[in-house]
């Protein structure tokens, strides 16, 4: 599936758009088939693990067999080297198995590995990426703090430069994969410094002075482990600064573009599974003398689900292509300019334009797909009636899990404000 030619903004726009191709390529079909096979193998384990609220311990080894743990990571670092759209299509399929399974990949890959692939230097990539693509090291992204949620610029975690090391202290919470991730990126400001000093660091989680604690009693996402992570003067080697000092928020917000895309893709999978479950149930279940599927009010639910799926797909695929255009531009910069990292800044108009476009489209896709997936899951529970109220039903699991997707990777309220500020202009920014 290659929807839009890279030259969409050039003058040949209309001739190019007539050649849009909405079909999966043969390579994509083959890969999604492999992902589908693994999903089917994992289904029973995921259901058991969900009820036990434990990690599905087959997930990493099974997905590792097809290379999914490094799907969009360059072959140079032992990934599969797939483009963002193909990765998104895989997440869409994984989303059918539940948002928990998909969230694992969002944390490991979208806001984990892809941050390193984009922002780290060659030595850091060589040191960290191959172990993550083979599953030896799982990744996580630690930005949120108890007092810094929607507004990470007020984060309190701080670093001191002691000459030899950075000493990091502070508390992060809700970190997905945080109980077992071996490599994470985190964000801290210079002690006594302001927002402009916020920087990003790669952390080896086996270092001393790091405490982890699981967050329990969650509403859903029961096979994902979220953690509180505390750093107490943790010694971070100088070479583990990611990007430039002061680039932290820019790195975090760029990670969230990939994060939002992954959540939108998973939400499509959730809706597809809810629709399939609902279709089968509605055709089988008879009340008032005929199948539920014959009732017009039930058909209205089914039609709304289908419309939501189709709409969310094209928003998400379009946003994935915009992100790929941004990635391609960054990779070109890297090839041609040793000082590329300085060019990923507000001073570079082309970079800013591509980034703003992909940021806006990913926000729209995440906002729409997650709102709709929660509504769709709710409708499917309604179609199932009391059967849908059992935690063992797939639709109940989707309903409980999809609630989180309206909160994480940018709450849907903040995304509305972001979309509005993109169309109104920065002076109208309301957040
Ligand atoms: C299951 C789960 C997994 C998560 N995983 C991670 C992770 O892996 N890594 C990580 O760093 N974080 C993670 N988070 C944290 C998540 O990103 C934050 O919860 C989110 O950013 C919102 O922050 P908050 O919870 O502090 O809510 P708050 O920021 O306190 O917001 C509360 C409410 O106020 C609204 N609000 C806030 N500001 C405005 C405004 N200006 N205008 C209008 N409304 C506003 C919000 O939309 C929300 O409805 C996770 C959270 C959850 C629930």
The domains located in the chain, with CATH, are 13-137 (1.10.540.10), 140-242 (2.40.110.10), 250-428 (1.20.140.10)
DSSP for 285-324 reads: -EETTEEGGGSHHHHHHHHHHHHHHHHHHHHHHHHHHHHH
Ligand 1 pocket check for 411: Cβ under 6 Å = yes
| The two structure tokens encoding residue 294 | 């014959």
Answer yes or no: is pLDDT of 2 > 70.
Answer: no
pLDDT, tens only, 178-236: 999 999 999 999 999 999 999 999 999 999 999 999 999 999 999 999 999 999 999 99
pLDDT, tens only, 35-57: 999 999 999 999 999 999 999 99
> Which residues have CB under 8 Å from 204's CB, separation 6+?
182, 183, 240
Q: Report residue 201: phi and psi, to 5°.
A: -135, 145
287 Cα: distance to centroid of ligand 1 (angstroms): 42
Which of 174, 249, 370 is the pocket-test mutation for ligand 1 (most atoms within 8 Å of CB)?
174
Tokens 């729209």 identify what position?
Answer: 364
Looking at 337-429, list the stretches that DSSP marks H as alpha helix, in order from N- to C-terminal side.
340-343, 349-384, 394-402, 412-424
pLDDT, tens only, 7-21: 444 444 444 555 667
Ligand 1 pocket check for 408: Cβ under 6 Å = yes
**What global pTM score does this model have?**
0.96
Answer yes or no: is pLDDT of 353 > 50.
Answer: yes
- How far apart, in Å, are the Cα atoms of 149 and each of 157, 179, 225, 266? 13, 20, 19, 22
Q: Is 225 helix (H, G, I), strand (E, B) or coil?
A: coil
410 Cα: distance to centroid of ligand 1 (angstroms): 6
- The DSSP secondary-structure symbol of 187 reads E
pLDDT, tens only, 272-281: 999 999 999 9
pLDDT, tens only, 105-139: 999 999 999 999 999 999 999 999 999 999 999 99
Tokens 């479950």 identify what position?
Answer: 277
State how far the Cα of 294 lies from the Cα of 286, in Å rounded to an integer: 9
Q: Is there a contact between 82 and 72 (Cβ–Cβ < 8 Å)? A: yes
pLDDT, tens only, 132-165: 999 999 999 999 999 999 999 999 999 999 999 9
Which of 104, 108, 142, 149 is the pocket-test mutation for ligand 1 (most atoms within 8 Å of CB)?
149
> What ranges make up the beta strands (E) of 191-303?
199-204, 210-214, 226-237, 241-242, 286-287, 290-291
Ligand 1 pocket check for 150: Cβ under 6 Å = yes
Ligand 1 pocket check for 226: Cβ under 6 Å = yes
Ligand 1 pocket check for 175: Cβ under 6 Å = yes
Q: Is there a contact between 308 and 372 (Cβ–Cβ < 8 Å)? A: yes
State how far the Cα of 126 lies from the Cα of 233, in Å rounded to an integer: 27
State how far the Cα of 204 lies from the Cα of 194, in Å rounded to an integer: 26
State how far the Cα of 234 lies from the Cα of 250, in Å rounded to an integer: 23
State how far the Cα of 25 lies from the Cα of 58, in Å rounded to an integer: 29
Q: Is there a contact between 185 and 141 (Cβ–Cβ < 8 Å)? A: yes
Q: Is there a contact between 305 and 278 (Cβ–Cβ < 8 Å)? A: yes
Percent of the chain residues past pLDDT 70, beyond the cut: 95
Q: Report residue 115: phi and psi, to 5°.
A: -65, -45
Ligand 1 pocket check for 414: Cβ under 6 Å = yes
State how far the Cα of 95 lies from the Cα of 264, in Å rounded to an integer: 10
Treating both helix axes as pointing N-terminal to C-terminal, what angle do 349-384 and 412-424 enclose, rounded to 10 degrees? 140
State how far the Cα of 74 lies from the Cα of 213, in Å rounded to an integer: 33
């Amino acid at each position: 599936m290659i929807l839009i030619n890279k030259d969409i903004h050039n003058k040949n726009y209309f001739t190019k758009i007539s050649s849009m191709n909405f079909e999966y390529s043969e390579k994509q079909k083959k890969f999604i088939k492999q992902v589908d096979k693994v999903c089917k193998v994992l289904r029973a384990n995921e259901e058991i693990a969900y009820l036990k609220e434990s990690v599905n311990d087959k997930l990493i080894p099974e997905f590792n067999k097809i290379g999914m743990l490094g799907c969009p990571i360059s072959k140079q670092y032992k990934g599969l080297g797939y483009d963002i759209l193909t990765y998104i299509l895989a997440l869409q399929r994984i989303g059918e198995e539940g948002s928990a399974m998909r969230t694992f990949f969002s944390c490991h890959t979208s806001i984990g590995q892809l941050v390193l692939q984009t922002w780290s230097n060659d030595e850091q990539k060589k040191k960290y990426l191959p172990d993550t693509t083979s599953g030896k090291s799982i990744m996580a992204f630690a930005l949120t703090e108890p007092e810094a949620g929607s507004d990470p610029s007020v984060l309190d975690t701080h670093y001191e430069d002691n000459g030899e090391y950075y000493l990091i202290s502070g508390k992060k919470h809700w970190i997905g994969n945080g109980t077992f991730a071996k490599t994470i990126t985190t964000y801290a400001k210079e002690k006594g410094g302001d927002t402009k000093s916020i920087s990003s660091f790669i952390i080896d989680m086996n270092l001393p002075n790091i405490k982890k604690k699981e967050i329990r009693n969650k509403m859903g996402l029961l096979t994902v482990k979220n953690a509180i992570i505390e750093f107490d003067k943790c010694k971070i080697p100088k070479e583990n600064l990611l990007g430039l000092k002061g680039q932290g928020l820019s790195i975090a917000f760029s990670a969230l573009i990939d994060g939002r895309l992954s959540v939108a893709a998973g939400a499509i999978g959730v809706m597809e599974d809810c629709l399939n479950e609902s279709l089968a149930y509605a055709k089988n279940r008879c009340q008032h003398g005929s199948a539920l599927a014959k009732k017009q009010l039930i058909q209205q639910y089914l039609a709304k689900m289908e419309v939501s799926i189709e709409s969310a797909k094209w928003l998400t695929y379009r946003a994935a292509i915009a992100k790929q255009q941004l990635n391609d531009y960054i990779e070109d910069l890297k090839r041609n300019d040793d000082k590329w990292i300085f060019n990923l800044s507000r001073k570079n108009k082309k970079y800013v334009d591509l980034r703003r476009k992909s940021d806006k489209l990913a926000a729209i896709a995440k906002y729409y797909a997650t709102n709709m997936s929660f509504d769709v899951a709710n409708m499917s529970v309604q179609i199932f009636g009391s059967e849908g109220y059992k935690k063992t039903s797939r639709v109940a699991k989707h309903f409980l899990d999809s609630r989180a997707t309206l909160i994480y990777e940018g709450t849907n309220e903040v995304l509305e404000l972001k979309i509005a500020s993109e169309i109104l202009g920065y002076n109208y920014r309301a957040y």
